[in-house]
Chains A and B, each alone.
Chain A
Amino acid sequence: MTFFLATLPIAVILTLMVALRWGASRAGAAGYLTALALAWGVFGLDPTGLAYAHAKALLLTVDVLLIVWAAYLLYRVADEAGAIATIGQMLPHLTADRGMQALIIGWAFASFLQGVGGFGVPVAVVAPLLVGLGFAPLAAVVIPSVGHAWAVTFGSLGSSFQALLAATGLPGDGLAAPAALFLALAGVLVGWMVLHAAEGGAAVRRLWLPALGMGLAMGAVLTLMATHGLWNIASFGAGLTGLGVGLILARRYRGASQAPRGDLDLRALAVALSGYAALLLITLTVQLVPPVKAFLGRVVITASFPEIHTRLGYVTPAGTGRRIPLFRHAGAILGYSALAAYVIYRRAGRYAPGAAWRILTQTARRMMASSVGIATMVAMAVIMQHAGMTEALARGLAQAFGRAYPGVAPWIGALGAFMTGSNTNSNVVFAALQMRTAQLLGYAVPLILAAQTAGGAIGSVIAPTKVVVGASTGGMAGREGEVIRSLGLYVGLLLLALSALTGLAVLWIR
């Protein structure tokens, strides 16, 4: 019964967004109200517990909104300067093949951005680029969403993998190899899915080989780096490798039908790319130069929370909420990049009068509804977590599937990521539970945890909070349900593949 009730908030959101096509702000509010009523009335979370849950949710919301607003601001800064249009005109000079364009930008570049950026950044940045290239808005959101999925665990400079280690207390050496291998193999499938999302089965048949080459190269680099202690930059290295291999392959797969006329204006292209070059330079400087990282990390917003009990006996341990290093946050880095890009474009004479006002007002207008959706869904997830509803869901799944548990493990990881919008949060919530269940059932713990984090990585891309980010920058605001439906097929297939992989690995290890 508790399992059934715990599914209700998720069922409400899914039904409203997918079946009734509600926008995220309305569906999120409905999910939040459902979770609040169940947590208080059925699961016994008292008003004080609810107050702490709301405060923790506020920290998570700020963490997410900083990135969402700053990513869109950077996009508007570049778009107002005509940079997106210029980059859009550039790529056909490299390759007119839309499949190759999707592989290079929607897969390799999105994976690279996931390596250095974080929550939602790849989709927020890449979706408008693809729209500028002429991709339909739905495809423009789906391609980078699927494209960066495999890079999530070792992305954001390894924060999700770090959370896995923190939640289980296990060393990284034993966990990195199976997690990297699972994700690398999923990565090859992701490449073919990107092609399918871009141009259907014809593109897969035409470009399966270059996609395989890029996938194997990226997967090999990811695995090598992760297993040699470099897991914090493994996705970054893999994405960079994919870009290099993709650009080489683009010379062979140029797309014969529509060779562009005229010369490429390299100066205009350099100016257009400078906004994203600023993002890259600033990100690498902040993350990889220790004195800069330490200096910017001095101001941290966080709060301590006591142990919280529900009437049904579920206990949330005491601890600190989300830590937000205000000036080193991914949102802050995007903000610095937006400012730097604005200065560069302004000095290059790319702005018409009133550009700054237009950038700011359009950013505020576009982001407000998305922000409401994100705030309510994060609150829903945190309330469910503190009421023991998330735990009830996971235990119900584990008990229901018994010996088939290895096949279910990725789905639990995906469920956590779907609800919280984050692979990191999924690992925090479910890793200990997965480890304990694996021990009870006698399965190899590293394999089950690899399935947890790989499932979390894949599942995070379909999380409503993340979908809202991509939809808002890719011209699909209010049509998030369509994005979830389209992503559902790819995410489902990837999770099935992970289930099979985990089952085979468990049998092999035995």
Chain B
Amino acid sequence: MLTRLRRHRWAVHTLALILFLGSALGMFFAVGNGTLIRILLGTAVFGAILALGV
């Protein structure tokens, strides 16, 4: 799985960046909604884990 991901490193980095920056933008507008903030934090963490993996 990891090897297959690494073969598409550029695509994974692009996805990770979109998830990370997109969730950061979302968090600004989600202030006041605790559940949504937690979901977006989880998305940012997922983006970071993707980057960590490749």
Which of A26, A51, A371 interacts with B31 by CB under 8 Å? A51
Which of B23, B24, B38, B48 interacts with A33 by CB under 8 Å? B48
CB of A239 within 8 A of chain B? no
Residue of A nearest to B25 (CB): A58
Instruction: List chain A residues, Cβ under 8 A from B20.
Output: 372, 375-376, 379
Which of B27, B52, B54 interacts with A51 by CB under 8 Å? B27
Contact with A along B23-36 (1 / 0, CB 8 A): 11101101110100
Q: B52, A30: Cβ atoms under 8 Å? A: yes
Least Cβ distance of A122 to chain B in Å? Answer: 25
Instruction: List chain A residues, Cβ under 8 A from B21.
Output: 58, 61, 375
Q: B14, A368: Cβ atoms under 8 Å? A: yes
Interface residues of B in 5-54 (CB under 8 A from A): 9-10, 13-14, 16-17, 20-21, 23-25, 27-28, 30-32, 34, 37-38, 40-41, 44-45, 48-49, 51-52, 54
Q: B17, A33: Cβ atoms under 8 Å? A: no
Q: How far does the alpha carbon of A53 sit from the alpha carbon of B6 in the complex, in Å?
A: 30
User: Using a Cβ–Cβ cut-off of 8 Å, how many residues does chain A contribute to the interface with B?
Assistant: 27
A-B pair number, CB within 8 angstroms: 84
Which of B9, B28, B48 interacts with A303 by CB under 8 Å? B28
Q: B24, A57: Cβ atoms under 8 Å? A: yes
Q: How far does the alpha carbon of A303 sit from the alpha carbon of B24 in the complex, in Å?
A: 13
User: Using a Cβ–Cβ cut-off of 8 Å, how many residues does chain B contribute to the interface with A?
Assistant: 28
Contact with B along A357-385 (1 / 0, CB 8 A): 00000000100110110011001000000
Q: How far does the alpha carbon of A54 sit from the alpha carbon of B38 in the complex, in Å?
A: 12
Instruction: List chain A residues, Cβ under 8 A from B24.
Output: 54-55, 57-58, 61, 379
Least Cβ distance of B22 to chain A in Å? Answer: 9
Q: B28, A58: Cβ atoms under 8 Å? A: yes
Q: A48, B31: Cβ atoms under 8 Å? A: yes
Q: B28, A51: Cβ atoms under 8 Å? A: yes
Contact with B along A23-60 (1 / 0, CB 8 A): 00110111011001000000000011011101101100
Instruction: List chain A residues, Cβ under 8 A from B52.
Output: 26, 29-30, 33
Residue of A nearest to B35 (CB): A47
Q: B45, A36: Cβ atoms under 8 Å? A: yes
Instruction: List chain A residues, Cβ under 8 A from B30.
Output: 51
Residue of B nearest to A62 (CB): B21
Instruction: List chain A residues, Cβ under 8 A from B51.
Output: 25-26, 28-29, 372, 376
Q: How far does the alpha carbon of A32 sit from the alpha carbon of B44 in the complex, in Å?
A: 10
Instruction: List chain A residues, Cβ under 8 A from B38.
Output: 47
Interface residues of A in 390-419 (CB under 8 A from B): none
Instruction: List chain B residues, Cβ under 8 A from A379.
Output: 20, 24, 44
Residue of A nearest to B29 (CB): A55
Q: B49, A33: Cβ atoms under 8 Å? A: yes
Instruction: List chain B residues, Cβ under 8 A from A303.
Output: 28
Least Cβ distance of A381 to chain B in Å? Answer: 14
Q: Which of B17, B24, B38, B49 has the most CB of A within 10 A?
A: B24
Instruction: List chain B residues, Cβ under 8 A from A368.
Output: 10, 13-14, 17
Q: A26-B52, A30-B52, A32-B48 are in contact. Are A52 and B31 (CB under 8 A)?
A: yes
Q: How far does the alpha carbon of A10 sit from the alpha carbon of B19 in the complex, in Å?
A: 24
Least Cβ distance of B27 to chain A in Å? Answer: 4
Least Cβ distance of A505 to chain B in Å? Answer: 42
> What are 22 A-B pairs at a CB distance below 8 A?
A28-B51, A29-B48, A29-B51, A29-B52, A30-B52, A33-B45, A33-B49, A33-B52, A36-B41, A36-B45, A48-B34, A51-B30, A51-B37, A52-B27, A52-B28, A55-B28, A58-B25, A371-B17, A372-B20, A375-B17, A375-B21, A379-B20
* A-B contact sample (14 more), CB < 8 A, given A29-B49, A50-B37, A372-B13: A29-B51, A33-B49, A33-B52, A36-B41, A51-B31, A51-B40, A52-B27, A52-B31, A54-B41, A61-B24, A368-B13, A372-B51, A376-B20, A376-B48
Residues of A participating in the B interface, judged by any CB pair closer than 8 Å: 25-26, 28-30, 32-33, 36, 47-48, 50-52, 54-55, 57-58, 61, 303, 365, 368-369, 371-372, 375-376, 379
